[in-house]
Chain A
């Protein structure tokens, strides 16, 4: 399998704190993506980072990629109760290969 683990499996923080989630993978990749899933809904794309990029920002989201360690992290700054959701990373070996997801991190932001 090309996908590894995400950690932590579950994370609970207070509103206003930062949340960091990590993703590891096993094979070389073309890109890595992060998705969000609210309870009972489909996944929504957050950000994509390519293998030749090290860091990417989108609003309160910051994603890093370390290809030497085969790992990525998603940082959500100044979290809000509305950020409560499950977060998944997904990888592809090439730009036209299938997209494989990890098991996800469940984030709870307490008001």
Chain B
């Protein structure tokens, strides 16, 4: 969806380095989500936000933090990347618990 933009789309990094993934939206979605997708697991929720500076943990939040200082941007940070965090990360936005609009994903490889 053109309203959700993720950056970077691809990143290779080394174990122990910090990584920040950015999600930018132009649709004034109140809710924003970060999911990771791994084979056999579908999408697992990492963190979500229900408003500016309002965030909560999802199913697999260990090793991740998020920030939302303005409506448009939702940042996902891996403080010290590990190989188990190699995954495809998806950001999504929506008005509530209804239809979500997804970005195209960010593929992260941790060596």
| Interface residues, chain A, with chain B CB atoms under 8 Å away | 1, 6, 30-31, 33, 35, 40-45, 48, 88, 90, 92, 94-104
The answer to whether A95 and B97 touch across the interface, beta carbons within 8 angstroms, is yes
Q: A88-B42, A88-B43 are in contact. Are A96 and B90 (CB under 8 A)?
A: no
CB neighbours (8 Å) of A90 from chain B are 100
Q: Supply 5 further A-B pairs (C-beta < 8 A) apart from A41-B105, A42-B4, A98-B58.
A: A43-B90, A43-B92, A43-B100, A88-B43, A96-B96
- Say how far A51's CB is from chain B's closest CB, in angstroms: 11
- Say how far A106's CB is from chain B's closest CB, in angstroms: 10
The answer to whether A96 and B1 touch across the interface, beta carbons within 8 angstroms, is no
The answer to whether B45 and A100 touch across the interface, beta carbons within 8 angstroms, is yes
B56 within 8 A of A: yes
CB neighbours (8 Å) of B100 from chain A are 33, 35, 43, 45, 90, 99
CA distance A98 to B93 in the complex (A): 11
Chain B contributes a number of interface residues (CB within 8 A of A) equal to: 28
Q: Which 3 A-B pairs have the closest CB atoms?
A: A92-B97, A42-B102, A103-B42
| Interface residues, chain B, with chain A CB atoms under 8 Å away | 1, 4, 33, 35, 40-45, 48, 50, 56, 58-59, 90, 92, 94, 96-105
The answer to whether B97 and A94 touch across the interface, beta carbons within 8 angstroms, is yes
CB neighbours (8 Å) of B59 from chain A are 1, 100
CA distance A41 to B34 in the complex (A): 15
B1 nearest in chain A by CB position:
A42
- Say how far B8's CB is from chain A's closest CB, in angstroms: 15
B44 nearest in chain A by CB position:
A101
The answer to whether A95 and B96 touch across the interface, beta carbons within 8 angstroms, is yes
